[in-house]
């Protein structure tokens, strides 16, 4: 693997032990995956931010790092809303540990935005090389924007942040980004709501594994693409997908899909994931809500009062721009929390059944929260939360 003079110096320890160790991680990864060189990255997104997921071992590893990041680096959701954790019912002992994790990241120079939708706060562009780690953010950056990132682990993302580079392999190479599987969606004239895209992603992720699918027969909006990618990254390991005529690379390149394995997905296969069941709480915002999604939730809640807990999750930066929408949602008794989500926070573990409108949350809630899960459209979720007929 070719290294520049500067990269060699980092590897030899001339810029400190932490940078040397981080470069060792990147070089080892590059060798395993056959990278020929490093590429500079425009930004990094680091997962492994909730004390619930990284625990004491992760915290002590973070504390051992003595350096600062070289490129803009954003943090994934943590285990609580940093200012309203008491309202979430978070244990003070957990909150103290979570603050220690956040402090460790702050010391490294990581931006404490605590979101899986950093693309709402920092512009990324077609062709940018990134080193992002949260799986839905990776799928969005690659597929919806046309940026280039592998699905990094927490340590390799942090290594890329501290060194400012990542080994050039996998989805950093244009030749590797072509579709490998064709998904023909047959909606039978039905219009797909956002939650249907979550259900579709949930189905296709388990079929695709880590292959790159290309969809035909659908015309998703940006929010729907976000939901579709998040679900495929959760039930499978899809880090990039294309939609004919919609996503940037499917519009720029002419992909010949005739030789690909083609899998039809019919309307009934999408809708049979939606089951009826009594629920104890409703959680929306996986991935974190966009301004449009907050607006829709606010309008569905207008004049209503919630009868069971309804939690909405969004990036703090998005909430601050949309204070009237947040106030309108909270007027119903629902709560809009920043910095965290229904999966990485321990707050949801007290509920028996949680209703969600997200294919990714549908995948993760049972294992991560120890709760049963029900999938519904946003409208159905609001209807259940408010006890409306």
Please identify which residue in 230, 260, 289, 338 interacts with ligand F3S, judged by CB under 6 A.
230
Least separation in angstroms between CB 124 and ligand F3S: 17
Compute the least distance from the CB of residue 364 to ligand F3S, in Å.
Answer: 6
Our finding on whether 344 is near ligand F3S (CB under 6 A) is yes
Applying CB under 6 A, the site for ligand F3S has a residue count of: 16
Q: How far is the CB of 287 from ligand F3S (least distance, A)?
A: 4
Complex with ligand F3S: residue 164 or 359, whichever CB lies closer: 359
Q: Is 316 in the site for ligand F3S (CB under 6 A)?
A: no
Residue 287 sits in the site that holds ligand F3S (CB under 6 A): yes
111-142 burial: b if 16+ Cβ within 10 Å, else e: bbbbbbbbbbeeebeeebbbbbbbbbbbbbbb
Q: Tell me if the bond preceding 287 is cis, omega within 30° of 0.
A: yes
Q: What does the per-residue mask of binding to ligand F3S show for 78-107, with x meaning CB under 6 A?
A: ------------------------------
**Counting contacts by CB under 6 A, is residue 355 touching ligand F3S?**
no
360 touching ligand F3S, by CB under 6 A: yes
Kindly state whether residue 288 participates in binding ligand F3S, applying the rule CB under 6 A: yes
151 binds ligand F3S (CB under 6 A): no
Residue 343 within binding range of ligand F3S, rule CB under 6 A? yes
State the minimum distance, in angstroms, from the CB of residue 139 to ligand F3S. Answer: 10
Distance of alpha carbon 291 from the chain centroid: 17
Q: Which is nearer to ligand F3S, 273 or 344 (CB)?
A: 344
Question: Given the rule CB under 6 A, which of 187-195, 243-251, 296-304, 341-349 is the region that contacts ligand F3S?
Answer: 341-349
Tell me whether residue 18 or residue 143 sits nearer to ligand F3S (CB atom).
143
Among residues 238, 252, 250, which one has the least CA distance to residue 209?
Answer: 238
Q: Which residues bind ligand F3S (CB under 6 A)?
A: 76-77, 116, 134, 136, 230, 286-288, 313, 341, 343-344, 360-361, 364
């Amino acid at each position: 693997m070719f290294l520049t003079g500067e990269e060699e110096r980092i590897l030899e320890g001339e810029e400190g032990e932490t940078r040397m160790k981080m470069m060792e991680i990147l070089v080892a990864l590059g060798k395993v995956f056959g990278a020929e060189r490093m590429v500079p990255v425009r930004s990094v997104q680091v997962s492994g931010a909730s004390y619930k997921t990284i625990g004491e071992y992760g915290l002590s590893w973070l504390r051992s790092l003595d350096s600062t990041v070289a490129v803009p680096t954003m943090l994934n959701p943590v285990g609580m809303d940093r200012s309203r954790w008491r309202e979430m019912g978070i244990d003070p002992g957990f909150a103290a540990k979570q603050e220690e994790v956040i402090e460790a990241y702050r010391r490294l120079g990581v931006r404490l935005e605590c979101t899986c939708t950093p693309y709402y706060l920092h512009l990324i562009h077609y062709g940018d090389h990134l080193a992002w780690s949260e799986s839905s953010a990776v799928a969005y950056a690659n597929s919806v924007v046309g940026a280039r990132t592998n699905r990094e682990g927490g340590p390799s993302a942090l290594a890329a942040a501290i060194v400012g580079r990542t080994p050039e392999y996998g989805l950093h190479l244009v030749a590797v980004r072509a579709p490998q599987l064709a998904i023909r969606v047959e909606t039978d004239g039905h219009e797909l709501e956002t939650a249907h895209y979550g259900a579709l992603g949930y189905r296709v992720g388990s079929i695709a594994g880590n292959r790159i699918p290309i969809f035909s027969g659908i015309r998703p909006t940006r929010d729907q693409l976000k939901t579709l990618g998040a679900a495929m990254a959760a039930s499978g390991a899809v880090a990039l997908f294309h939609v004919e005529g919609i996503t940037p690379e499917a519009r720029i390149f002419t992909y010949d899909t005739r030789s690909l394995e083609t899998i039809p997905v019919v309307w009934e296969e999408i809708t049979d994931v939606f089951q009826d069941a009594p629920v104890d709480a409703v959680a929306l915002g996986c991935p974190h809500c966009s301004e449009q999604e907050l607006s829709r939730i606010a309008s569905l809640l207008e004049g209503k009062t919630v009868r069971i807990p309804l939690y909405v999750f969004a990036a703090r930066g998005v909430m601050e721009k949309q204070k009237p929408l947040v106030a309108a949602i909270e007027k119903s008794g629902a709560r809009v929390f920043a910095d965290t989500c229904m999966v990485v926070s321990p707050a949801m573990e007290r509920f028996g059944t949680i209703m969600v409108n997200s294919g990714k949350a549908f995948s993760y809630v049972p294992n991560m929260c120890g709760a049963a899960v029900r999938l519904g459209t946003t409208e159905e979720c609001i209807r259940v939360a408010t006890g409306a007929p």
